Amino acid sequence: MPRPFVIPFFISHQGCPHRCVFCNQHAITGQPAGPAVDADLIRAEILAHLHRPRRTSRQGVQVAFYGGSFTGLSEARQRELLGAVQPFLENGEVDQIRLSTRPDYIDPDITAFLKSHGVGIVELGVQSMDDAVLAASGRGHNGADSERAIKCLQDGGLEVGVQLMVGLPGDRSGLIFKGVERLASLRPDLARIYPAVVLKGSELENEYRSGDYRPLGLAKAVAISGRVKEILDANGVRVVRIGLQETDGLQADIVAGPYHPAFGELVLARNLYRKVMTALAGLKGSGRLELRVAAKDQSVLRGPGNVNLKRLAAKGLLAGVELVFEENRRRGTFALVTV
């Protein structure tokens, strides 16, 4: 699916009276807290983005409000932010608005309000579907709230994104997979998967320093996120991001946890390795083979430090196999062809 050109605005922590244990919005968005984003800034930024030459071919233009609980803002503030985009929606220079919010800040009236202002996608901070994990994380909502919000947005004709976090306090892989199955059955349109990390200034930092919270190790976080992605893939939920968005100062704010600048690539490498390994094992002894992979997946197939190829070779699965990297192949797919 062609990706849209996104013009992002970060409304750090605005509209949110909560304090989730993992949250330090300033660190996550790389933006200072406060009402820096106003109608003038929105108009100026949109114009600047629209007139900047684009290096990649993208389809459609979206204005995104991230980093806060948009529908927790006062209605006047929501009208101010959405209103600034309306002229660009009306003249066709912007196709739609996307924003993020909490599941318990969505109801039919809010959904209708968003829809009437050109919002096309709402991303919900679901994080977990397990009520005990949500309570331990200070989220202030439960799994049923997320279910209700997803259905409400779908009924209102909006696309739904879900943001998930693995490794929250009290979480276990079994709970995560069960929750993701439940979530996937609701058919959200897209998902983001983040590993829980300990950010400076968050409640989790206190819990980590007192020994009450132990973050996942990197390998485990990659394995769990990989399985989560497999479940979402199998249910047709588009995974648009895996791992934290790199921002200025993010690394300096991380106290502990499974942070890696290429976390998403590690997860993709894990998943492709498992698929290729199973397919090669099934064809072992079939003579000469070509393993055809998308050219853009070359580093994913190889894995960090060529680990995937080394592991396949150690299992004797690469004997007689030629690697072919195809420009036109869809990422994440591969073919095994006898030659």
Report DSSP letters for 227-285, one per residue: HHHHHHHHTT-EEEEESPPP-TTHHHHEEESS--TTHHHHHHHHHHHHHHHHHHHHTTT
Complex with ligand SF4: residue 68 or 188, whichever CB lies closer = 68
Determine, following the binding rule CB under 6 A, whether residue 102 of this chain makes contact with ligand SF4: yes
Residue 125: DSSP 8-state: E
Determine, following the binding rule CB under 6 A, whether residue 192 of this chain makes contact with ligand SF4: no
List 16, 150, 232, 242, residue binding ligand SF4 (CB under 6 A): 16
In the complex, the smallest distance separating the C-beta of residue 269 from ligand SF4, rounded to whole angstroms, is 29
In the complex, the smallest distance separating the C-beta of residue 24 from ligand SF4, rounded to whole angstroms, is 8
In the complex, the smallest distance separating the C-beta of residue 169 from ligand SF4, rounded to whole angstroms, is 14
Complex with ligand SF4: residue 125 or 215, whichever CB lies closer = 125
Complex with ligand SF4: residue 18 or 49, whichever CB lies closer = 18
What distance lies between CA 189 and its chain's CA centroid?
12
Report DSSP letters for 64-106, one per residue: EEESS-GGGS-HHHHHHHHHHHHHHHHTTS--EEEEEE-GGG-
In the complex, the smallest distance separating the C-beta of residue 254 from ligand SF4, rounded to whole angstroms, is 16
* CA-to-CA separations, 53 to 32, 42, 48, 92, 204, in angstroms, rounded: 28, 19, 10, 18, 42
Determine, following the binding rule CB under 6 A, whether residue 25 of this chain makes contact with ligand SF4: yes
| CA gap 112, 152 in Å, rounded | 10
Determine, following the binding rule CB under 6 A, whether residue 73 of this chain makes contact with ligand SF4: no
In the complex, the smallest distance separating the C-beta of residue 23 from ligand SF4, rounded to whole angstroms, is 3
List 9, 10, 11, 13, residue binding ligand SF4 (CB under 6 A): 13
| CA gap 89, 124 in Å, rounded | 23
In the complex, the smallest distance separating the C-beta of residue 241 from ligand SF4, rounded to whole angstroms, is 16
Name the residue type at position 64: A
In the complex, the smallest distance separating the C-beta of residue 106 from ligand SF4, rounded to whole angstroms, is 13
| Of the candidates 337, 289, 339, 338, the residue with the CA atom closest to the CA atom of residue 312 | 289
Residue 167: DSSP 8-state: S
Determine, following the binding rule CB under 6 A, whether residue 19 of this chain makes contact with ligand SF4: yes
* # residues near ligand SF4 by CB under 6 A: 11
Between vectors from CA 94 to CA 89 and to CA 96, what angle results, nearest 5°?
A: 80
Q: Which x/- pattern over 139-168 shows residues binding ligand SF4 (rule: CB under 6 A)?
A: ------------------------------
Complex with ligand SF4: residue 160 or 300, whichever CB lies closer = 160
List 11, 23, 114, 272, residue binding ligand SF4 (CB under 6 A): 23
Determine, following the binding rule CB under 6 A, whether residue 68 of this chain makes contact with ligand SF4: yes
Residue 199: its H or E element: strand 198-199
Determine, following the binding rule CB under 6 A, whether residue 18 of this chain makes contact with ligand SF4: yes
Site residues, ligand SF4 (CB under 6 A): 13, 16, 18-20, 23, 25, 68-69, 102, 125
